[in-house]
Chains A and B, each alone.
Chain A
Amino acid sequence: KNQVEQSPQSLIILEGKNCTLQCNYTVSPFSNLRWYKQDTGRGPVSLTIMTFSENTKSNGRYTATLDADTKQSSLHITASQLSDSASYICVVSAQGNFGNEKLTFGTGTRLTIIP
């Protein structure tokens, strides 16, 4: 069964500090891995999408890494801001039948930035 596990479940850090969120997956056959940011009461917003051949991808202060051998990904947030308070969701795409992709969502890491 395809699974995506994220850690930690929740994290509180001071404004201006860096943090790293983890994602481990057992999804096969792997197609791509996505990180989303979800503010409370809002829909998820795409941060990065990485394919098998990509090790790292940045979007401003967000940098995602992917190790397809160990099936691990991380999302590093640099110089955190209060607006970074949100849930961060790791989503792994597996190729399904007839080429249709099936997305498996993690339950997210709830990040809180305090001033």
Chain B
Amino acid sequence: DSGVTQTPKHLITATGQRVTLRCSPRSGDLSVYWYQQSLDQGLQFLIQYYNGEERAKGNILERFSAQQFPDLHSELNLSSLELGDSALYFCASSSVGDLRYNSPLHFGNGTRLTVT
């Protein structure tokens, strides 16, 4: 068990809708990362938060947004959903904000989003 909790595990919704994915990082970890994994694709970095502030941004669409709350849990909001947004969304946490220090990333088990 990585200690990273993601809810819900599965989500099925229709195009045009909005959903919120939730992530609780490992106890003591200040950084939260969000990744998208589409079928047969590598994980794509979306966004990183460190201690409540946005730290780095990847290929995140304007329809997507995220935040990290004072208790360090994070939410990823996906709106105006399209069929192509169907994917596994992973949250990961680390104790540092900068992976230069070889700090391991601890991944949750993901939320599988299906847009119909």
Q: Taking beta carbons and an 8 Å cutoff, which residues of A are in contact with B? A: 4, 31-32, 34, 41-46, 49, 51, 89, 93, 95-96, 99-108
| Interface assignment of B43: CB less than 8 Å from any CB of chain A | yes
Contacts from B to A (Cβ < 8 Å): 2, 4, 40-45, 48, 55-56, 58, 90, 92, 97-100, 102, 104-110
| Cβ–Cβ contact A43 & B2, under 8 A | yes
B59 to chain A, nearest CB (A): 11
In the complex, how many angstroms separate the beta carbon of B20 from the nearest chain A beta carbon? 19
User: Which has the most chain A C-beta neighbours within 10 Å: B43, B90, B97, B105?
Assistant: B43
Task: Pick the contact of B48: A41, A99, A100 (CB < 8 A).
Answer: A100
Contact among A42, A46, A89 for B42, CB-based, below 8 A: A89
Q: Are B2 and A45 in contact (CB under 8 A)?
A: yes
Contact B99 A93 (CB under 8 A): yes
**Residue on B with the closest CB to A9?**
B40
B42 touches A105 (CB 8 A): yes
Q: Assess A44 versus B100: contact at CB under 8 Å? Given A106-B42, A107-B42.
A: no
By a CB distance below 8 angstroms, the chain A residues around B44 are: 105
Query: Which residue of B2, B102, B106 is within 8 Å of A32 (Cβ)?
Result: B102
For residue B42, which residue of chain A has the nearest CB? A105
Given the complex, which residues of A lie within 8 Å of B48, measured CB to CB?
A: 100
Q: Are B40 and A101 in contact (CB under 8 A)?
A: no
- Cβ-neighbour of B43 out of A32, A101, A102, A105 (below 8 A): A105
Name which residue of chain A comes closest to B104, CB basis: A46
CB-nearest residue of chain B to A46? B104
Which residues of A are found within 8 Å of B104, using beta-carbon distances? 34, 46, 49
Distance A41 CA – B10 CA, assembled complex (angstroms) = 11
Given the complex, which residues of B lie within 8 Å of A93, measured CB to CB?
99-100
With contacts A49-B104, A93-B99 taken as known, whether A43 is within 8 angstroms of B45 at the C-beta atoms is no
CA distance A31 to B107 in the complex (A): 20
Inside 8 A of A34's CB, which chain B residues have their CB? 104-105
